[in-house]
């Protein structure tokens, strides 16, 4: 007889998201013993351990990674049935975990979330701002539901949907020698001091492509935030590739200068990333639709 309950699945999903029994209990407004008992019973019925215990935190076991997308789908399908059970469909509720890469999370968050928040005010959005590598890892581990990133993503388990085009610009302080150069050419960048993002970020990869097309320079600094790089450039420490969306205020104030560089390709694509095995319930569908993603959403049957 089938005796797995929705509550047991909710407990499992909550622990997978929160990482500890205590945090899951707080999220579900139940006691820690109740959470532990529900997890133990689910593991007994599935005849396998769903988590590995390490330093007080619970990490999905190989079996847990297989079960999690199915558990999420069951829960979301039940919620959808309840929303549609009355005379009219109820307002969307629940939690959606979004991972946004640095530029998007800090400078385009209004464009990313504005329409969705306006349409679905009862949905709780949990937004983490990380580099592209960390976001893709979070998607693969089912720690986040959707990601929005700046760079290319190539993984068999992930689907990439184009969102919008974007551009980097090469910047310097107004008194920097390159900012004073008339009719700037690629050769003028020889021995330039560059300030880069950390490895694992899409902006780092794109900047390295730019550097490969210019005369040799030197990497002076590596910083983990776009704003920190911008401030270092303003201080005259070096030059950098920065998102155009991050430079407007400083350029207008005369603290930063965009260098004309038609000889390098600074175009890029911002994309939405989804796990292929993650069920696209009403929340994910609504989020994708709010961004006007042109590709049709294929729902699992």
pLDDT, tens digit (0-9, with 9 covering 90-100), for 44-64: 999 999 999 887 788 889 999
Confidence of residue 299 (pLDDT cuts 50, 70, 90): very low
Interval 173-177 mean pLDDT: 96
Ordered DSSP codes for 73-93 = HHHHHHHHHHHTSSSSPPPP-
Check pLDDT > 60 for residue 293: yes
**Where would I find the H helices in 84-168?**
102-107, 109-119, 132-140
Percent of the residues in the chain that have a pLDDT greater than 90, as a whole number: 68
Check pLDDT > 50 for residue 28: yes
CA angle 51, 52, 53 (to 5 degrees): 115
Distances in whole angstroms, Cα of residue 128 to Cα of each of 63, 104, 144, 202, 248: 26, 11, 9, 16, 24
Check pLDDT > 70 for residue 296: no
**pTM for the predicted model, two decimal places:** 0.77
Domains present along the chain, CATH in parentheses:
6-85 (1.10.10.10), 94-163+273-290 (3.40.190.10), 165-268 (3.40.190.10)
Confidence of residue 40 (pLDDT cuts 50, 70, 90): very high
User: What mean pLDDT is reported for the chain?
Assistant: 89
Interval 22-41 mean pLDDT: 92
Interval 181-185 mean pLDDT: 93
Which residues, 6+ apart, have CB-to-CB distance to 192 below 8 Å?
178, 214, 217, 218, 238, 239
Confidence of residue 82 (pLDDT cuts 50, 70, 90): confident
Interval 24-48 mean pLDDT: 92
pLDDT computed for residue 96 by the predictor: 92
- Residue, of 18 and 176, whose pLDDT is higher: 176
Strands (E), the chain: 51-54, 57-60, 94-101, 123-130, 146-149, 158-172, 193-197, 218-223, 240-243, 257-259, 267-275
pLDDT computed for residue 7 by the predictor: 92
Locate 255 and state its tokens: 């603290």
- Residue, of 256 and 78, whose pLDDT is higher: 256
pLDDT computed for residue 169 by the predictor: 96
Check pLDDT > 90 for residue 17: no
Check pLDDT > 70 for residue 86: no
Ordered DSSP codes for 12-60 = HHHHHHHSSHHHHHHHHTS-HHHHHHHHHHHHHHHTS--EEEETTEEEE
pLDDT, tens digit (0-9, with 9 covering 90-100), for 230-274: 999 999 999 999 999 999 999 999 999 999 999 999 999 999 999
Q: Which residue has the tokens 């003028």?
A: 188
């Amino acid at each position: 007889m089938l005796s797995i309950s929705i509550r047991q699945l909710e407990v499992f999903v909550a622990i997978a998201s929160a990482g500890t029994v205590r945090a899951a209990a707080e999220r579900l407004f139940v006691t820690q013993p109740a959470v532990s008992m529900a997890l133990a019973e689910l593991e007994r019925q599935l005849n396998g351990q769903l988590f590995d215990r390490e330093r007080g935190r619970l990490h999905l076991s190989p079996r847990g990674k297989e079960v999690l997308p199915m558990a999420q789908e069951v829960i979301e399908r039940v919620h959808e049935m309840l929303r549609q059970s009355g005379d009219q469909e109820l307002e969307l509720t629940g939690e959606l975990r979004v991972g946004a890469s640095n530029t998007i999370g800090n400078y385009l968050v209004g464009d990313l979330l504005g329409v969705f928040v306006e349409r679905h005010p009862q949905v709780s959005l949990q937004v983490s701002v990380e580099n592209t590598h960390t976001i893709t890892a979070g998607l693969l581990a089912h720690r986040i539901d959707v990601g929005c990133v700046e760079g290319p993503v190539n993984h068999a388990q992930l689907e990439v949907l184009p969102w919008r085009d974007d551009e980097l610009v090469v910047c310097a302080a107004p008194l920097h020698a390159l900012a004073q150069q008339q009719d700037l050419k690629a050769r003028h960048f020889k021995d330039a001091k560059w300030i880069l993002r950390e490895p694992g970020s899409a902006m780092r990869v794109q900047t390295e492509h730019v550097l490969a097309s210019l005369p040799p320079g030197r990497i002076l600094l590596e910083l983990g935030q776009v704003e920190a790089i911008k401030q270092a450039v303003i201080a005259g420490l070096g030059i950098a590739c920065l998102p155009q969306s991050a430079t407007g205020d400083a350029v207008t104030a005369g603290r930063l200068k965009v260098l004309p560089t038609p000889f390098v390709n600074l175009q890029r694509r911002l994309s939405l990333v989804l796990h292929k095995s993650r069920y696209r319930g009403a929340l994910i569908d609504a989020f994708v639709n709010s961004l006007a993603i042109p590709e049709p959403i294929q729902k699992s049957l």
